[in-house]
Structure formats: C-alpha cells, structure tokens
Amino acid sequence: MPLLEVDDVVVRFGGVTAVDHASFAAEAGRITGLIGPNGAGKTTCFNVITGLQRPQHGAVRFADRRITRLPVHRRARRGMGRTFQRLEAFGSLTVRDNVRVAQDIHRGPAGLLRPAGADVDALLDRVGILAYADERADSIPTGTARLLELARCLAGDPKLLLLDEPSSGLDESETAAFGALLAELAAEGRGIVMVEHDMALVMTVCDDIHVLDFGRVIASGPPALIRTDPEVQRAYLGYADDDVTQEIDLEQVAP
C-alpha cells in the first residue's frame, strides 16, 4: 500500500481543467518526482493533496486513510508537510522563530508551556541555514527561504514531504548538498514528492517520476524510462523522434 495515493482527481477553474483525472502514488522511503511543463497542474495537485483546493472529483488517500474531505490542518497532523512555490515563510519572524512556531504548532496546546528546545538549531543546521538563524525571514535569499520552509516542515517530523520547486534559487553546490539531504530524509523512511524543474536533480535523486501535461498523467516510471518516453518528449519539446540525442535535450530543459 503506497503512502500517498491520488486517485482520479479532477480540478476545474471555470472553463479550464487544471487537473484532469490524474492518478499517481508515492511510496514511503522513496523520492517521487512530479514534473511537467508550466501550467501542467503540479502545484494544483499539491493543493489538492494538502487540502487547500477541493477537487470536483476523485479521492486522496494518505497512510491508508481517505483524506479527501479533511481540513488542511488535520491532514498536516497526520504527518504531511509541504513547501510552497511562492514562498510562504513568516516574513516578520526570524528564521529561528519560523521553525520554533512550527514546533509550537506541532506540539499543540500541551507544548505551549514548554520552551522550544535546542533542536530548532539542529534542524537549521541540518538544512544548512544555521548562519541565518537570527535574520528576519523576509530578508534572506530565495533559495535559503526554500530551505527554511523545509526545516519548518521537518519540525513536525512528517511522514510525507511535498516540496514545490525546492531547488530554485540554489546554486550548483547547494543543489548537490540538497540532493544528498533529500536522499538522507528518504532513507529515514519519509516519503518525498517533489515538483521540480531542475531535470538533472530530478533524474539523479528521484526513484519514481510522474509526468503531468495539461492536468493528465502522461507517463509514470523510473527516471531511465521517463527519459526516453516519446510522450514526455512531445510534451516538453513539442516533437518526438527516436534520435538518442533526445536524452541530452531533455536534461537541458530548464524552467
């Protein structure tokens, strides 16, 4: 039984169908990539999974439970954490306080009286932004803020991490370190679903990939298979042929 199952989900905005009968799954302990051209419905899928968007049709199952109708916060309490494409850091708090708030929320009313522990700094260190701990979250670079959102999620010790374009704003060496961190997090048994435009990163760290185009899942499988899938080629490049150079082309598709 997969950790997360998205089953036949449909989301329409007026006349536009953003997600069109999409079904995919993500396993615990594995990194699942969700890729596709701009406007393919990736972020909308995340919104459906986390409860920010109610689907017109379909179901979401998480840890063997149907959660389609649960409110946002109850899904989070079941062990779901997410980051945002357009940043949602708490701008007027410091980086450290951002993570502290997440911890406060995770502990609930019982934790209100306990002071937040030193583990906050350990988390910041883990994602590599301890140096920014005392800066206000609206004054740090974008890449750092994305890592902050990740640290904030981790404060709740989630079973499933949904990362929306986590590597944009990171330089090459930071991206490499980030990839290693993801592998570590997955090795701890967490499921990770990642929307990402950096194909090199996706192809190296992901175990499974689902490709969305116009709201439909057009391909699913391990990176090696996705790389050569003619449907995917067509979605990304507008054409497909059997030329082997396609492999290289696909890796060069940048956001």
Partner 1 sequence: MSTLLSFTILGLFTGAAYAIAASGLVLTYTTTRVFNIAHGAFGMVMAFTFWDLSQRQGMPTWLSLVLVLGVIAPATGWFVQRFVTRGLGEGPVSVSLVVTVGLFVGLIGLAQYIWPPEPRTLPPFLPDRGVEIGGTYVTAHQLITILLSAVVAAALYLLLNRTRIGTAMRASVDNPVLLRLFGGNPDRVASLAWAIGVSLAALAGILLTPVIGLSYYDLTLLVINAYAAAMLGRLKSLPLTFVGAMGLGILQSFAVAYLPTDGNLAGLRAVVPALFLFAVIVVMPQAQLRIGQVKGIVSAPVPSLVRSGVGGAALLVLVALLAVGMSNANLLLVGTAATYAMVMLSLVLLTGYGGHVSLAQFTFAGVGALAYAKLDEPNLYGLLLAALIAGLVGALVAIPVLRLTGLYLALSTLAFGVLMDKLVFQADFAFGFNGTLPAERLSVLGHRFDSLGGYVLVMAAFFVLMAVGLLVLRRGVLGRVLIAMRDSPAACGTLGLDMRWFRVALFGLSAGMAGLAGALFAGLRGTIGAADFQLFNSLPLLLLAVVCGVTSVTGAAMGGIGLMLLPVLQSYRPELAGVVFAVLGFGAVALGRDPNGLANQLFRLGHLLDRRFGDRVRSAVPLLPLPADRVAVDEDSEVPLTEVGAHAAARG
Residues that bind partner 1 (CB under 8 A): 13-14, 47, 50-54, 71-77, 80-82, 84, 86, 88-93, 97-98, 100-102, 104-106, 111-112, 116, 136, 138-139, 149, 152-153, 155-156
Look at residues 188, 190, 250 and name the one whose alpha carbon lies nearest to residue 223: 250
Q: How far is the CB of 248 from partner 1 (least distance, A)?
A: 31
Q: Which is nearer to partner 1, 100 or 210 (CB)?
A: 100
Q: Which is nearer to partner 1, 87 or 200 (CB)?
A: 87
Q: Which is nearer to partner 1, 21 or 136 (CB)?
A: 136
* Residue whose pair of structure tokens reads 């708030």 in the numeric block: 101
Distance (Å, whole) CA 163 – CA 82: 6
Look at residues 188, 181, 149 and name the one whose alpha carbon lies nearest to residue 165: 149
Q: How far is the CB of 108 from partner 1 (least distance, A)?
A: 8
Q: Could you tell me which residues come within 8 angstroms of residue 75 by beta carbon, excluding any fewer than 6 positions away?
A: 49, 50, 51, 62, 67
Sheet holding 16-26, edge to edge: 16-26, 4-13, 57-62, 65-66
Q: How far is CA 27 from the centre of its chain?
A: 14
Q: Which is nearer to partner 1, 75 or 227 (CB)?
A: 75
Q: How far is the CB of 105 from partner 1 (least distance, A)?
A: 5
Q: How far is the CB of 91 from partner 1 (least distance, A)?
A: 5
Q: How far is the CB of 244 from partner 1 (least distance, A)?
A: 36
Q: Which is nearer to partner 1, 107 or 234 (CB)?
A: 107
Distance (Å, whole) CA 239 – CA 36: 15
Burial 185-216 (b: 16+ CB within 10 A, else e): bbeeebbbbbbbbbbbbbbebbbbbbbbbbbb
